[in-house]
A = this chain, B = another copy of it.
């Protein structure tokens, strides 16, 4: 019998308990042992809930329980999760978490702590919800040098952008709708400003390149400035706007960015809609590979957490995760990245644009007065900013041309 504790009985925590109960037979077979939830840490009581007798309010009850082999941390946020996870590892318990904030901030340290103690620190659910992505990066793509990771890693913003694209509704309208449906939080900042996707690409990039990416150093732009008009221009260009989180290795330097991008229908992520997540990876020998699925949600996320629990139980006494070193990965400067841009400029006089960017084709949208759009040639962000300095830019959206 393998006994586990769950820290946090919220959406994911209750999902973990539910999945273990629903699929107990097949999970036992795969883990090689019965997996039982012994304790659930939460500030609240849950009278009437099947786990009411397992609720504890004090983390030390769990830490000091020698029967508990694996701790599932699904509270979210850096503290007190970080303190609790360290205590669990110090007490000889493996840890599985869905907490991207914790992993992005302290992943390398917790991986090293686990390895030293022949334990495991696993976090499949921290990126892409149920989509297997951490384990494939950790164990399947080991023959490759990764050259690019590009993902739609946040379901909330993808839902909003999909709705805006399909229905021509405004950002504010769709956000309200998403909040009403529970797809967006009341304070949606972490999602709509790109912070969530930024932490996820930091985790994937750290794993892929083997050293620590500071998520604070990743250029991050949210979707709050994307408007109905932007989508009208995008449509004329045969494109959609997606929040991409991406890292690329160019000339031995890794460049990472989280921002809205215009992509056309040849892009591998063009059809990743609604709350789905999609992740494109290129390796120098495997070529292109892609993963799609539900990026969030109670049961898909719990499925990934429980798969980690199964791995911990199966590999008791043996560390199986590739660690990434605590050494900092010095990211390249976003200013040096070459790409093309879609730009909207105020007024009707195209002469300043043509003087700065050459003889570009201009685009106008019926009903959208006193402005026009155009697409630049390939240039660095720095060059773009210099050339655009004297223009009255309404918005500019980067373009991405990844192809399968």
Q: Tell me whether A65 is interfacial, beta carbon within 8 Å.
A: no
- From A97-105, A191-199, A239-247, A307-315, the one touching the partner chain is A307-315
Task: Looking at the assembled complex, report how far the CB atom of A273 sits from the nearest CB atom of chain B, in whole angstroms.
Answer: 9
- Contact (Cβ within 8 A) B292 A297: no
Residues of B within 8 A of A31 (CB): 142
Q: Does chain B have a CB within 8 A of A302? A: yes
Cα-based distance from A30 to B283 in the complex (angstroms):
15
Bound CA span A30–B139, Å: 9
A293 in the interface (beta carbon within 8 A): yes
Tell me whether B30 and A130 are in contact (CB under 8 A): no
Say which residue of B22, B135, B286 sits within 8 Å of A135 (CB atoms): B135
CA distance A303 to B23 in the complex (A): 33
A292 in contact with B290 (CB, 8 Å) = yes
| Pair B284/A22 contact, Cβ less than 8 Å | yes
B307 to A142, Cβ gap below 8 A? yes
In the complex, what's the smallest C-beta–C-beta distance from A293 to chain B, in angstroms?
A: 4
In the complex, are the beta carbons of B286 and A300 less than 8 A apart? yes
Residues of B within 8 A of A271 (CB): 271
Measured in the bound complex, the distance between the Cα atoms of B284 and A300 in whole Å is 9
Question: Smallest distance from the beta carbon of A23 to chain B beta carbons, Å?
Answer: 5
Q: Does A238 contact B (CB under 8 A)?
A: no
**B287-A297 in contact (CB<8A):** yes
With A291-B291, A292-B290, A318-B318 as known contacts, state yes or no: A27 contacts B142, CB within 8 Å. yes
Q: A289: CB under 8 A from chain B? A: yes
Assess the B142–A310 pair: CB atoms within 8 A.
yes
* Number of chain A residues close to chain B: CB under 8 A: 55
Is A332 part of the contact surface with B, judged by Cβ < 8 Å?
Answer: no
Q: Which residues of B contact A283 (CB under 8 A)?
A: 303
Closest Cβ–Cβ distance, residue A44 to chain B (whole Å): 24
In chain A, positions 181-235 with a C-beta closer than 8 Å to chain B are 210
Q: Within 8 Å of chain B (Cβ to Cβ): is A380?
A: no
Does A141 contact B294, Cβ atoms closer than 8 Å?
Answer: no
Determine chain A's interface SS by DSSP, over half rule. Answer: mixed
How far is A136 from B276 in the complex, measured between Cα atoms in Å? Answer: 19
* Best-buried of A286, A293, A297, A306 by chain B (most CB within 10 Å): A286
* A310–B145 CA distance with the chains assembled, in angstroms: 14
Could you say which residues of chain B place their CB within 8 Å of the CB of A293?
286-290
Our pick among B23, B136, B288, B297 for the contact of A144 (Cβ within 8 Å) is: B23
- Asked if B311 and A285 sit within 8 Å, CB to CB, the answer is no
Q: Quick check: B310 and A320 within 8 Å, CB to CB?
A: no
CB of A329 within 8 Å of the partner chain: no
A14 contacts chain B at the CB level, 8 A cutoff: no
Q: Does A131 contact B (CB under 8 A)?
A: yes
Known: A141-B132, A210-B29. Is A285-B310 also a contact (CB below 8 A)?
no
In the complex, whether A378 has a CB less than 8 A from a CB of chain B is no
> Known: A293-B290, A307-B140. Is A23-B318 also a contact (CB below 8 A)?
no
Residues on B with C-beta less than 8 A from A322 are 30
Contact of A285 among B22, B132, B292 (CB under 8 A): B22
Task: Give Cα distance in the complex from A26 to B211, angstroms.
Answer: 12
B27–A143 CB distance below 8 A:
yes
Instruction: Give A residues with C-beta under 8 Å from B.
Output: 19, 22-23, 26-27, 29-31, 124, 130-132, 135-136, 139-145, 210, 268, 271, 276, 283-294, 297, 299-300, 302-307, 309-311, 314-315, 318, 320, 322, 404
14 more A-B contacts (CB under 8 A) besides A130-B286, A286-B293?
Answer: A19-B285, A23-B143, A26-B210, A27-B142, A124-B140, A139-B139, A140-B307, A141-B303, A143-B303, A143-B305, A276-B404, A288-B293, A289-B291, A289-B293
